[in-house]
Amino acid sequence: MATLFGSGIKRREDPRLITGSATYTDDVKLPGLVYAMFVRSPYAHARVGAINLEAARQSPGVLAIYTGRDVKDRMAPVPCAWNVPNCDLKVPPHPLLAVDRVRYAGDAVAMVVAETRAQARDAVDLVEVDYDPLPATVDPEKATQPGAAQLHDEVPGNLAFTWTVSGGDAEAAFASAEVKVSQRIVQQRLLPTAMEPRAAVASYNRGSGQLTLWVTSQNPHIHRFLCSVMLQIPEHRVRVIAPEVGGGFGSKIPAYPDEALCCFAAMQLGRPVKWTEDRSENYKVTIHGRDHVEYVELCGTRDGRITGLRTRVYAGLGGYASTAGPGIPTILHGLVYSGAYTIPNIHGVVRGVYTNGAPVDAYRGAGRPEAAYLVERLVDIFARQIGMDPVEVRRRNFIPKDKFPYTVATGVTYDSGNYEAALDKALGILDYKAFRAEQAKARKAGRHLGVGVVSYIEICGLGPSQVAGAVGFGGGLYDSAIVRVYPTGMVRVYIGASPHGQGEETTFAQIVADEFGYPVENVEIIHGDTETTPQGWGTYGSRTTAVCGSAVKTAAVKVKEKARKLAAHLLEANEADLEWKDGKFMVRGSPEKAKGFAELALMANVAWNMPPGMEPGLEASAFFDPSNFVYPFGTHVCTVDVDVETGQVKILRYIAVDDCGPPINPMIVDGQVHGGVVQGIGEGLQEIAVYDDEGQLLTGTMMDYAVPKASQVPSIETAHTITPSPVNPLGVKGVGEAGTIGSAACLVNAVCDALSDYGIVHIDKPLTPARVWAAIQRAKGAAA
Ligand code: MCN
């Protein structure tokens, strides 16, 4: 029987998505539904004076208006849930509605609830707020300098934390190094841009004291917990449902004030309350990503050995510490400074900085693309300095494949890897040698072709829970599943994680169907409702398959074990004499004596003839807490043609060789890589969130914020190597972020390679034509 694991069957979630029959939060309609809208500060930094609600209250349909003073004693502030230890983290209170000061443009000062959305919108315009504008600070490096505007009285110099990571002796390595290179790197702010903006519908039953929140969530159980904290009601009285979620990319992990306030209003008014963000609100107030200013140094020998890496990073946090904000530029960033290499001496210092921008949190890759970018850029700059092919430098420094598990200087232990294999495969697909020859020929003809190579690693599959606790994450990082077999033999699998586009309704069904010898149609995956699903910690950090998928596998194996015992009993055979063949338990040597899964399901559920002591029913639950993270890797290679007259970058080929262990569904894996690479192309070439000096977001619409269009994306050539992980029963690693980790670096490496004869070693992304052209002009000026 062909196994489903490894087969690229079509995604089962797609028919409802592409026929418009899926239910998103904004589709939820309840009797008596009313609508919320927020009064948001036009200033990035201002004192809030009197708020005049008179006219708004008189406006048709208005039911209630709440200000910061109305809620501050009745709700807890928005929690930060990642209290990274040993870095003197300062987390000032994040009020649900600003009381006396706003700290970024869009910070809400009041919430209006009205009978219709239009009435709420009209009333928002009638709220009069006295603002006393203050100077703003938006650049994370400048915000730490004397004279910069101060956001929080209790955070001098806007310095939220200073976190260090160290291994070996970087100072000694640099002091004695033959070669040193350094680069200031800016990793721009990005806007996650999920297709569906955030939305919430809150409904409160006064009789039962039960609150139900439909919300755009990547992690309903976390939202249930954080909601109960903010509302100060017991967790079991809160039910969180994530219906269809139109993409998250990290932006639907955090707890935001808006959704909690909908709950508050529903409890106050006794009517269900809906709020749906519009796109400009989404760009202004939903979390942003990246925002680093980095000073990076790398040292080594003339023959290409890297001996040390040092970083000094300013990481913007925005106006408040978001739910996972402090953990992203520290734990998820600094711990992977070694990349794919045996860098023996590492010292990194990351300063988290409050600025007058929207809070910064997880955006696809979250900390790891920033790490891969700085390492992979510096490797290229080092190669240029010593006159060696960047591919050769990578080879000379890779962690050898027989050295895993391998503990890098930052202290984390990589589970498994074979970096050279991925590199060889990617270079083979391109025919690297032939491209270099073509490049040289083109250069003579005045064309600037370039090739970028990136060998990335990432840390994902987040658990284990013990480590989560040790690094200050305010939750566990295990996951769970219940596999329930109905009397008819159909299977439902209830999972703790909450996929929202990644495809686990298909891949997890493949795991279970394989275990039971079933067609995939017999298995249904249920997720996204805290009332029906077991405790889980969400879908992010490319953890769902490695962690929750392992819980699914474990629960399915438990069910099958019970079925085997029952089969032995019914066949009057010894369990040891049974074999699992062609989807049946058979008595070895007597194939006519066999029981298939569907029949065993019926017998277990009717319980007419159970073995002594066996409980009726056929279901099992499992919690899986991994023993380590997983470390996927890969090599991406791209070739570009840079028009030096206009600065326009044309991608010629993009080759992605990724290793996420054995792919459950290769088509879905490729789809994930495609999506990730496209986001990396956006980051590398055109996306940037720009604030002016007063903290106004200048890229607040999709006309200004340049998400790549289909026509700007080349055909992405994917391939894989397969290196199983030893830390979970499936051997899998994450792939949901893989495409994003190295792709921006790959593009910038390619463009800098194309412009090497101008002496250009680095241009800060995004490499818009204007930036590339300006860099060429500067280089020409310097040479003249
Ligand atoms: N997979 C597989 N074989 C493997 C590994 C994974 O078939 N060896 C499959 C999985 O079963 C799943 C998909 O690949 O169908 C991605 O799985 P995984 O790597 O476990 O990642 P998660 O499901 O945890 O997804 C999170 C990840 C993150 S962190 C971001 S951000 C992101 C991403 O997924 N956001 C997305 N991909 C996204 N895709 C969509 N459509 N929408 C988002 O918001």
- Kindly state if the Cβ of 363 falls inside 6 Å of ligand 1: no
Nearest atom in ligand 1 to the alpha carbon of residue 549 is 11
Ligand 1 near 417 CB (within 6 A): no
Task: Determine phi and psi for 670, rounding to 5 degrees.
Answer: -65, -40
Taking CA atoms, 506 is separated from 7, 13, 265, 738, in Å, by 11, 7, 38, 20
Separation between Cα atoms, residue 552 and residue 532, nearest integer Å: 16
Q: Two tokens at 769?
A: 């034509």
Residue burial 399-435, b: 16+ Cβ < 10 Å; e: rest: beeeebebebbbebebbbbbbbbbbbbbbebbebeeb
Using the atom order of ligand 1, give the atom closest to the CA of residue 501. 41
Antiparallel, parallel or unpaired: β 273-276 and 238-241: unpaired
Q: Interior CA angle at 106 toward 103 and 112, to 5°?
A: 120
| pLDDT at residue 1, rounded to an integer | 53
Atom of ligand 1 nearest to the CA of 665: 7
- CB of residue 361 inside a 6 A radius of ligand 1: no
d(CA 461, CA 624): 12
Asked if residue 250 has its Cβ within 6 Å of ligand 1, the reply is: yes
What is the reported pLDDT for 3?
Answer: 86
Closest CA to 194 of 713, 540, 634: 540
Q: What is the pLDDT of residue 2?
A: 65
CB-based burial, 254-274: b 16+ in 10 Å, e otherwise? bbbbbbbbbbbbbbbeebbbb
| Centre of ligand 1 from the C-alpha of residue 221, in Å | 19
As a whole number of Å, the end-to-end CA separation of the chain is 71
What pTM value is reported for the model?
0.97
Please spell the DSSP secondary structure of 80-95, one letter per residue: P-B--SSS--------
Q: Is any atom of ligand 1 closer than 6 Å to the C-beta of 540?
A: yes
Q: Does residue 502 have its Cβ closer than 6 Å to ligand 1?
A: yes
Query: 252: Cβ below 6 Å to ligand 1?
Result: no
Atom of ligand 1 nearest to the CA of 252: 44
Residue nearest to atom 40 of ligand 1 (CA): 501
Containing H/E element for 393? helix 390-397
Mean pLDDT by 10 residues, the chain (784 residues): 88 96 98 98 98 98 98 97 98 97 98 98 98 98 98 98 98 98 98 98 97 98 98 97 98 98 98 97 98 98 98 98 98 98 98 98 98 98 98 98 98 98 98 98 98 98 96 97 97 98 98 95 98 97 98 98 98 96 93 94 98 97 98 98 98 98 98 98 98 98 96 96 98 98 98 97 98 97 86
CB-based contacts of 246, cutoff 8 Å, min separation 6: 24, 194, 195, 196, 216, 500, 501
Ligand 1 atom closest to the CA of 503, numbered from 1: 15
Instruction: Sort 535 into a burial class: Cβ within 10 Å, 0-12 / 13-18 / 19+.
Output: middle
CA of 781 relative to ligand 1 center, distance in Å: 46
Confidence at residue 784, expressed as pLDDT on a 0 to 100 scale: 81
Q: Which DSSP letter does residue 286 get?
A: S
Ramachandran quadrant class, 389 (left: phi over 0; alpha: psi -120 to 50; beta: rest):
beta
Altogether, the residues listed in the chain come to a count of 784
